[in-house]
Homo-oligomer: A and B are copies of this chain.
Amino acid sequence: MIETPYLLFLGDAPDALAAKVAQGIKDWRPEYAIGQLRLEGCKADMKLPDLTIAEAVEKGVKTLVIGVANRGGVISPAWKAVLIEALEAGLDLASGLHNLLRNEPDLAAKAKELGRTLHDVRIPAVQYPIANGKKRTGKRMLAVGTDCSVGKMYTALCVEKAMREKGLKATFRATGQTGILITGEGVPLDAVIADFMAGSVEYLTPDNDADHWDLIEGQGSLFHASYSGVTMALVHGGQPDALVLCHEPNRPHMRGLPDYQLPSLETLQDLALQVARIVNPDCKVVGISVNTSAMSDEEALAYCRETEARMGLPTVDPFRHGAERLADALAAL
């Protein structure tokens, strides 16, 4: 668990996209995002107060989060100076970078000397159990996609926001690096050892109040040849009561797999329900989330309307239109 609140380190981000982790924190956990720290040449801006390390400490910040993808996979000397300063000022560091903070000898030594924590969320910090498949109390929703990167994390976060606004009990459960940095906890599922995948999802979504919803971030796709095993473990470890189908129209092929077409929403629904019902016979598909970011407002509405008529399920782009209808569908279960 990463201590909050955060100072968002944007480094020398070449553009806004490079700082998407910071943007995610700002969008979804604004109460954690006390300020930003930018180096010379930074082209990203979260519209947060620019704080020095000392000012951040003054405002109660506990952790500096690296909110930017680094160039070339190397933690540059310019970054290092800031990270060392943060450790010396009493902050922990959190990062989802491929190259780990703990593998930088100077950072590791400084953290050890001062008793600070280096959170490398790309790799598990816990020895997860083997899944036991036992029925748990509370409700769980899982976002499943026709492909990878179709908006499953945003869907779960939007539903969490909509449910909380209605006064319902709901918790987003992160299964990827960005989600973990946003919420401060979760399971980096793609880095878990095969035998423990489903167990890690059980660990992430334990017994809860009968009217509480875990909103589980999806990973991969049952139809994606590279990552389907990860998705399968999510379905069987998550024991979802409800599935939301996620889709991005107009993709030419499965992400990274030019020889593979996306399945239809009908095909996804059929397979996902079969698989989910192995662990939860009452599982239902409650709605459809469309990533319409490449569409005009009119196109987006028309696509959702047509899909809703065809599938007979509430269909929205939750980021564009809000997730109230998905939240209502869950509450009605």
Docked-complex contact B134 and A259, CB < 8 angstroms: yes
Docked-complex contact B192 and A193, CB < 8 angstroms: yes
Q: Mark A213-241, 1 if CB is under 8 A from B, else 0.
A: 00000000011011111111110110000
Between-chain CB contacts (< 8 Å), 7 pairs: A132-B225, A191-B193, A191-B195, A198-B225, A225-B278, A229-B229, A232-B233
- Shortest Cβ distance from A257 into B: residue: B133
| Tally of A interface residues using CB under 8 Å | 41
CB-CB under 8 A for A233 and B237, given A194-B190, A195-B191, A275-B271: no
Report Cα–Cα, A198/B254, bound state, in Å. 16
Residues of B within 8 A of A260 (CB): 133, 278
Chain B nearest CB from A24 CB (Å) reads 21
Residues of B within 8 A of A190 (CB): 193-195
The verdict on A131 contacting chain B, using a C-beta distance below 8 Å, is yes
Docked-complex contact B195 and A194, CB < 8 angstroms: no
Docked-complex contact A195 and B230, CB < 8 angstroms: yes
The verdict on A274 contacting chain B, using a C-beta distance below 8 Å, is yes
Docked-complex contact B135 and A259, CB < 8 angstroms: yes
Given B199, B223, B228, which contacts A198 in the complex, CB threshold below 8 Å? B228
